[in-house]
Structure 1
Amino acid sequence: MEKRYVLEWLDRAINEFNPTQTQSANFEDHRFKSFLKEVMDETARQIAYLKKLAFQYPKKRKFQEVLDLYFSALNNLIDNARLNLKLIASESVISKKALELVLASLADIHTFLLNRYTVSINPDEPLRKYNLAVPVIDFAQPTDNILLSNHPALASLIEDEFDAVFSTGNLANITPRQAKHWKDLNDQICTPEQQNPGDEYFCSLELLLIERNFNSTKFVKYLTNRFTSHMEEYASGNSIEKLAYIQKLFNQIPVIKGLAYDLQHDDLSLTINNWFICEIEFRSRSNTGKGREAPSTATKSNGCIKKTADKVLCKLTVDQLALFFKAADQSKIIAAKSLSAIFQAVAPYLSTPYKEDISHGSLRSKSYSVEGRDEEQLLSFLTKLTRQIEEL
């Protein structure tokens, strides 16, 4: 394995043409031919090194570390070479030609590196780290696009978000993930197939953003404000049921797996579902408070009387609870004579923001058919739980 600085020769060659340190004008014509061969040999050596790099470091983490260091060093050399090229006096023709050779060599190495290890480029590192240009995206405008013109408020939100990301002051921070997300989103917005009216609740533009996990804080606020405004049209007794129905519609929207706009925030699905849970819980408590003057009633289940106040509130749906206990039973984390026995034991002691009383029969029936969205949501909660355990 390489133990020394593998780009040392190129580094020395670039410094040789730094007018502030050396007399680059003294680079003579007869030396140019031999220098040309040296540059070609060094380029071949670097590419040979890169070809075997993945085999030298079979462990992915170490390989990524070495690759990132190489990228960083290479890009610094490219910047230095470009700077020195500007500083060399115009009359130093041979020196300029020699440094241009070095710069062309660096460009060839850079191109090879990108082509060979594209999948190893961190999509959340700035493009400038890899010496990549920020793509020019001619984003669709409401005046020219039916989809955007039909939804002016949402179009304005998208435009503001795009301008913030691609503003002059933020260009150095744009990542490959952001650039690709905006390019793909723009392509979808301009696709004729997207010009449909949407479903019974969400418009086509909202559906597009939800399926692409556009987890911008502005879009989250837009959705929750819309849901809240919609609830004001309903009497308090119907609001919880309506919220649960909207949540069901939201969770039925297919989402592109592995896609995310901003990794600094939770997935849009998780954030919105957490909002639904908190909102339904708040409205449930408000309704309970209004009815406290009425005679209290107790829930009877299998001969046991359990009050809601005695139960554990679990911020999962009945479907997700059924899936959780089924997985715990099959993995032997929880032991009982049967899965039904587990449901009978836990049902009287659990409640959700949606149901104060859970029957073991409903848990059992839900365990037979699992929806993909419930599985994804439960995995998200478990991932969050794992992180919390690691911090203890």
Structure 2
Amino acid sequence: MLEKNYTLEWLDFIINVTLNEGKTDVSTLSAKQLETIVAKAQEEKDRHISFLKHQSFHLDSRRKIQLLIRQYHASLVMLLDQAYENTSRAESGMEILRQALVSISTSLDELLGFVENRFHEYLSLDERVPAAYLAQVKREMLDRLELLRQEFFVRVDNRVLTDMVLQSLHYFIYDSEKRPISFREVFYKKDLLSGLEKISQQEDQQTLHQAVVELLVYLNFNTRSFMNYYTQKLAQKINAYGAVHEKMTELLLAYKEFNQMHRKPAVKLNPHHADLKKVLGNWFAQEITYLEKKHQWDVLPLQNQQQQAPKIKTDPFKIMCFLSVDQIALVLRAMDATRVVKAKSLNAVVQTIAPYLSTPRKEDISQESMRNKSYAFEEGDKAVVIRMLEGMVNWIKEY
């Protein structure tokens, strides 16, 4: 089989034997030999990447791909662990050897990173991370975090938010020696740090705070402190409005924005805590219900009651929908086309449903407008509807 022609045998021998001073007198290796080994390690990295890409398309079952990827990942972690140990053992006077070990470790780390990023769904994330590998990950993360702390967190200009993120990363870097660390936790912290670094490249300082919030929602940063922070900031903004209907409008818009935020599937900071989306979704629902009841029981003075008496509404009860009219039209068109609903025509579907719907921006939806919009859609509206449907699918799977 093709798999037998591409193994990690050469890298295994170089790291566990040739460059392991416990088994070889590494002082006898010349600079030329070390240079050749480093170049060969780079070639091996490129070859294995090509091999894995090829195998992912040609293996005929998910089980075979999963077996191959897990074998590669486990072997690479052990090799990288040994490479770090070899580097730490290298004597201070052997700088050429140390540089060669660092270069080889970099090649291994790049190959491991490719496997983790490209094939993460095939990995067993709950396995314990080897100590030397974990120590190197922490050192690299600490250097990157220090750069963010000095520059980026100052630009965000919100100590409460940035301290929550720092506390989570510091807990991983400094306090995790007392407990076993899984690959799941390592990958999460890597994603969090990479996301912060990406946001730090934005030039507009006004958008940084919201970008960090959206990143934490995306990664299901489900700490109680972040959930409290998010709801408190939102409550302050909404309570700045006086009238109940204005508060309701702002709350519904905020709920719509929250539902449209991207979320990474099957990811959670703390697996033992409740999911962020469910907790905040319940908070929104309770606040909306509270404002609805408060508005319902508002008492008007006699003068206002007399003025409004001729304007008693007889319209049917409406359900608030957080999609725009264009997006609702797209959903109805799809339901009609896929026979989720049955009616004489699409126009009949619109005429039946539209009178009972409203949006945060339109209390009364024009049936004619909705019918016309059901025949031409913008890409942005399609993307919003797709995200909404994906969210429904994920909710059903988790229910």
TM-score range, shorter chain: 0.5 to 0.7
Tell me the distance in 1 between the aligned counterparts of 2:152 and 2:14: 54
Q: Which residue of 2 aligns with 1:281?
A: 289
Cα offset, 1:331, TM superposition: 3.8
**Counterparts in 2 of 1:219 and 1:185: CA distance versus 1, 3 Å:** farther
Confirm or deny that 1:6 pairs with 2:10: no
Map of 1:182 onto structure 2: 196
- Matching of residues 166-177 of structure 1 within 5 Å: 166-167=170-171, 168-169=173-174, 173=186, 175-177=189-191
Match of 1:158 among 155, 158, 162: 162
| Mapped pair 1:334 → 2:332 | no
Residue 240 (1) aligns with residue 249 (2):
no
Q: Secondary structure in 2 aligned to 1:136? A: helix
* Structure with max Cα Rg: 1
Report the AA paired with residue 288 of structure 1.
Answer: Q
Return the match for 1:79 from 78, 81, 92.
Answer: 81
Is 1:58 matched with 2:44? no
Matched with 1:199 is none
- CA RMSD in angstroms, aligned pairs only: 5.9
2 CA distance for matches of 1:364 and 1:78?
A: 61
Instruction: Describe the shift of the 1:2–1:39 C-alpha distance in structure 2 as closer, same or farther (beyond 3 A).
Output: farther
Q: Deviations over 1:198-250 (max 9, x none)?
A: xxxxxx5544445x544245555334323323444555xx2233331465488
Match of 2:148 in 1: 139
Equivalenced residue count is: 351
Stretch of structure 1 that moved more, 111-120 or 36-45: 36-45
In the alignment, the residues of structure 2 paired with residue 213 and residue 143 of structure 1 have an alpha-carbon distance, to the nearest angstrom, of 15
Per-residue deviation, 1:341 = 0.8
Q: Deviations over 1:340-383 (max 9, x none)?
A: 21022234566789999877467547757878776555434422
Give the aligned partner of residue 264 of structure 1. Answer: 268
Matched, 1:222 2:222: no
Shift of 1:73: 1.0
Contact between 1:10 and 1:102, CA under 8 Å: does it hold in 2? no
Once residues 398 and 116 of structure 2 are traced to their aligned partners in structure 1, the CA distance between those partners, rounded to angstroms, is: 34
TM-score (structure 2 length as normaliser): 0.59
* Residue equivalent to 1:151: none
Q: Which of 118, 127, 131 is residue 120 of structure 1 equivalent to?
A: 118
Preserved CA contact (<8 Å) 1:78 1:103: no
SS at structure 2 position matched to 1:163:
helix
Q: 1:100 to 1:376 in 2, by over 3 A?
A: same
Shift of residue 110, structure 1, vs aligned partner:
1.5
The alignment's TM-score, normalised by the length of structure 1, stands at 0.60
CA deviations 1:100-145 (Å, max 9, x no partner) are 7995785375266369779627499799589753252323569995
Stretches of structure 1 that go unaligned for 5 or more consecutive residues are: 149-153, 197-203
Asked if structure 2 preserves the Cα contact closer than 8 Å seen for 1:252 and 1:373, the reply is no
Residues 130 and 120 of structure 1: CA distance in aligned 2, closer, same or farther (over 3 Å): farther
What is aligned with 2:302? none
Letter in 1 for 2:198: D
SS at match of 1:160: helix
Cα distance between partner residues in 1 of 2:233 and 2:11: 58
Q: Which residue of 2 aligns with 1:346?
A: 353
The structure with the largest helix share of the pair is 2
Partners of 1:231 and 1:239 within 8 A in 2: no
1:76 deviation in Å? 0.8
SS in 1 for 2:57: coil
Preserved CA contact (<8 Å) 1:314 1:350: yes
Query: 2:321, 2:253 → 1: CA distance?
Result: 15
Counterpart secondary structure, 1:58: helix
Change (3 A) 1:4 1:108: same
Unpaired runs of 5+ residues, structure 2, are: 300-304
Residue 200 of structure 1 is matched in structure 2 by none
Listed as ranges, the matches of 1:32-71 within 5 Å are 43=41, 48-58=47-57, 66-67=68-69, 69-71=71-73
When residues 359 and 158 of structure 1 are mapped into structure 2, their CA distance, relative to the original with a 3 A threshold, is same
